[in-house]
Amino acid sequence: MLGFLIGEALRDLRRAGRVAVSAIVLITLSLAALGGFWLLSANLARAVANWRERVRIIVYLKREPAASEAPALVERVQGVPGVASVVYLSKADALKSLKEILGKDASVVAQLPANPLPASLEVTPAAAAATPDGARTLLRNLQALPEAEEVAGSADWVERLSQWQRLVTTIGLGIGAVLAVAAILTVTTSTTLILHARRHEMEIMRLVGAPEAAIRLPLLLQGMLQGLLGALLALGALVVAHELVAPRLEPLVNLTLGLSHLQFLPLASLMMLLAAGTLLGALGGWLARGRREP
């Protein structure tokens, strides 16, 4: 029975001709667009997560505390709400870091009459404080410290990157949805054409007592096959595009976003795209399946 139904579905798919091909192309385009934006969004989400972990707030101190006072200061700042960890940097530590940054030009530092760099505290915000609102609250709390001369740092730009990630996801869903509706309508059209072409055959099958499932189910399977073919083509296009484009973009992405490589979609996401394509085709076939010829 299953072999008969699949055979009928394949025959109907051939009968649909160019309309069926159009449906497959539209499903391919909709899923490729959705997958492409999904891929971009997933990598932007990785960048946001990485940069949230790197957010630091620097508290420049009015004076360098004595060696015996520094641990107590660190412990007190550690207790400020929204602080995950604190590292104390003395004036000597700051000068050493400057020399490391300057590299071969570090000899310039030796010409300074005195160490002009202030002692500071490097504060790592907790997850709740690594957002614009949380960071602003934490900045106010740190600025209120009597030892604080100046406080520098913000998570606003990380949040802007997060907003771009959400925008990319929304655009991808919008484009994918429009193309998906077009694909469903095209599948419905091709299945309706098959219904019209088979109307006499279907009447004969009913007269000889064939079950309605044997008559109608091939039309649903035809739509599912179109969706599955479109999904497979979309996945193939995504794989090829990623292999060709990712190596060329990775140096720029590493420089701007701090990502060493662009990850492809995980297996679960690929399975979801395959399922989405099959469901798109099934929905188009089901909509036509519900129409009976007079």
CB atoms within 10 A of CB 91: 17
CATH architecture of 56-154: 2-Layer Sandwich (3.30)
In our burial notation (b when 16+ CB lie closer than 10 A, e otherwise), range 138-155 reads bbebbeebebbeebebeb
CA distance linking residue 62 with residue 149, whole number of Å = 5
CA distance linking residue 2 with residue 214, whole number of Å = 10
Averaged over successive runs of 10 residues, the pLDDT of the chain (294 residues) comes to 54 63 81 86 82 80 88 90 89 82 72 82 81 78 89 70 76 78 74 63 60 62 80 92 89 78 88 87 69 44
CA distance linking residue 38 with residue 238, whole number of Å = 11
> What are the domain boundaries of the chain?
2-51+158-289, 56-154
199-207 and 156-197 helices cross at what angle (nearest 10)? 70
CB atoms within 10 A of CB 18: 8
> What is the pLDDT, as a whole number, of residue 239?
93
CA distance linking residue 6 with residue 9, whole number of Å = 5
CA distance linking residue 60 with residue 292, whole number of Å = 78
> What is the pLDDT, as a whole number, of residue 43?
86
Q: Which tokens go with 264?
A: 């492809």
Nearest to 140 by CA among 82, 75, 74: 82
> What is the pLDDT, as a whole number, of residue 238?
92
Alpha helices for the chain (secondary structure H)? 2-16, 18-54, 70-78, 91-102, 107-110, 132-143, 156-197, 199-207, 212-256, 267-289
In the three-class reduction of DSSP (H, G, I as helix; E, B as strand; rest coil), residue 1 is classed as coil
> What is the pLDDT, as a whole number, of residue 293?
43
Contacts of 202 (CB under 8 A, 6+ apart): 195, 215, 293
Contacts of 180 (CB under 8 A, 6+ apart): 27, 30, 34, 280
Determine contact, residues 292/216, Cβ cutoff 8 Å.
no
